[in-house]
A and B are shown apart, each in its own frame.
Chain A
Amino acid sequence: MTWKEVFTSSVGKKLVMSFTGIFLILFLIVHVGLNACIWANDNGTMFNAGAHFMGNNVVPRILEIGLFAGLILHIIQGLMLELSNRSKRGTVGYAVSYSKGSKWYSRSMGLLGTIILLFLCLHLYNFWLPNRANQGFLLGEEINLYAKMQEVFSNLLVVIIYVLGCLSLGYHLAHGFQSAFRTIGVHNKRYNAIFTTLGYGFAVIVPLVFALMPLSFYFGWIN
């Protein structure tokens, strides 16, 4: 069995989804933790220091390349799997669809992922792109990201899109978190119970904290 065969069968493709998905989950923990510094109520001093460490340091910047690689792999593989799976029903579909046996968000991972992707385009355009452009895409001088957040989140439409993006992320993770561990082979009942509970907790808390960021700026909950 070649490595190519291992990762290109239907089970192998799911392993790729799972590894990249877990990698993205780990990234979210770092991202949400650092951004929560905006609530220090120190006019962004602590947050900007954290952002400066991540943006102006070689190690996180190399990890950033890995993050983009993982994200792109996850997106391309995910969309291709979704299309391929849809084609497997054949030419005629059901007149009455079977919806009782599974949760709607488990069946809608492709749709939820696409909404997250659209949100991510806006998100990168709002923060990552202007900041890296200012740095000349190397380790140059950064913009004041806290001030940028204040500016971006003064627009109600942007705030709504961010909240919807977080909601999609929550449902994506409500299925994805525990599914990823099943995909890498966790079949022990006790562990599955832990991952399912942990997954629902993560899927509610992390997107909620993210969504509170634009809301906090818009409604002036921080100074």
Chain B
Amino acid sequence: MEHKGINLTLKVWRQQNTTSNGEFVTYQVKDISQEMSFLEMFDVLNEQLIQEDKEPIAFDHDCREGICGMCSMYIDGKPHGPWQANTTCQLHMRAFNDGDTITVEPWRAQAFPVLKDLVVDRTAFDRIIQAGGYVSVNTGNAVDGNSLPINKNDADASFAAAMCIGCGACVAACKNSSAMLFLSAKVSHLALLPQGDPERQSRVVNMVAQMDKEGFGACTNTGACEATCPKEISLSNIARLNQEYLLAGLTSN
């Protein structure tokens, strides 16, 4: 296979800490292999910065295989960059051409304050999960799978919702900075299974309340979240959450 090195101009958001004012700084990187991932390209840039005695760019990452949800970069106007159903760590440099200028920004949302450079604080998501994203039944030992019959469609829909990796791209993409796609994935995943049933009503009510408290906006069904989600979480989960919420509102004590 032909190995091609490309030269790029990067405009990267640099910010010392949460309270300081940030700014874009322009960097040049040369001879970047198109087989590199976007994060590997950042590693190269950071080594270059260290050699120049400059401070490397802070960015979040962990698994680098598309499953942990840490890599949060808003690349050229789209969370996780130009590819569909993809995370930043799985974005490869063949998505770009020699001479391109790439603008990289952190997730922008009041509820996700910038900690440093491209790193934002996403603990708001953890607190939303703590408000109800669990089941409090004693699961005991693993039981025979067939002893708990679950409709195939529900099992599939629940599994599809459980794919959410909590990356926050949906919030970053939404004009309202709404966390509804994330929240609806968490609510749907449990609402569709018998294990989630005992806390079904309190879960949706408490998680919505926590989401509002964290300072996320209200959903207006624009669909920007679904279009950028690396796990293709469906917008219909939001409608399911709305139904769960309305039923809880009408029937709870």
Residue ranges of A at the interface with B (Cβ–Cβ < 8 Å): 1, 5-7, 9-15, 81, 84-90, 92-103, 106-107, 109, 175, 178-179, 182-187, 189, 192
Contact = CB atoms under 8 A, between A and B. Distances in A.
A12 B224 CA distance: 21
A178 to B, nearest CB: 8
A10 B239 contact: no
B74 to A, nearest CB: 7
Given A10-B218, A84-B218, A89 B109 contact: yes
Contacts of A88: 109-111, 176-178, 215-217
Given A6-B249, A98-B228, A183-B242, A90 B222 contact: no
B239 A182 contact: yes
Contacts of B248: 1
Contacts of B94: none
Interface in B61-118: 74, 76-79, 103, 105, 108-111, 113
B219 A102 contact: no
B224 A96 contact: no
Contact of B223 (A93, A95, A101): A101
Closest 7 CB pairs of A and B: A185-B243, A101-B227, A96-B77, A187-B239, A6-B249, A85-B176, A88-B217
A204 B7 CA distance: 49
Interface string B16-38: 00000010100000000000000
B138 interface: no
Given A9-B208, A106-B222, A179-B221, A94 B105 contact: yes
Contact of A95 (B105, B109, B111, B227): B105
Contacts, number: 155
A14 B218 contact: yes
A87 B175 CA distance: 10
Interface string B201-216: 0000100110110011
Contacts of B176: 85-86, 88
Given A11-B241, A90-B109, A96-B105, 15 more contacts: A9-B208, A10-B212, A84-B218, A90-B108, A92-B22, A94-B105, A95-B103, A98-B173, A178-B221, A182-B235, A184-B242, A185-B240, A186-B239, A189-B236, A192-B239
A130 B241 CA distance: 46
A107 B227 contact: no
Given A14-B218, A182-B242, A89 B108 contact: yes
Contact of B113 (A5, A11, A90, A98): A90
A97 B240 CA distance: 29
Contact of B110 (A15, A87, A103): A87
Given A182-B238, A187-B243, A10 B108 contact: no
24 contacts: A1-B253, A9-B209, A12-B249, A81-B220, A88-B111, A88-B176, A89-B177, A90-B110, A90-B177, A95-B24, A100-B78, A101-B173, A101-B224, A101-B225, A101-B227, A102-B175, A107-B175, A179-B220, A179-B221, A182-B236, A183-B242, A185-B239, A185-B240, A185-B246
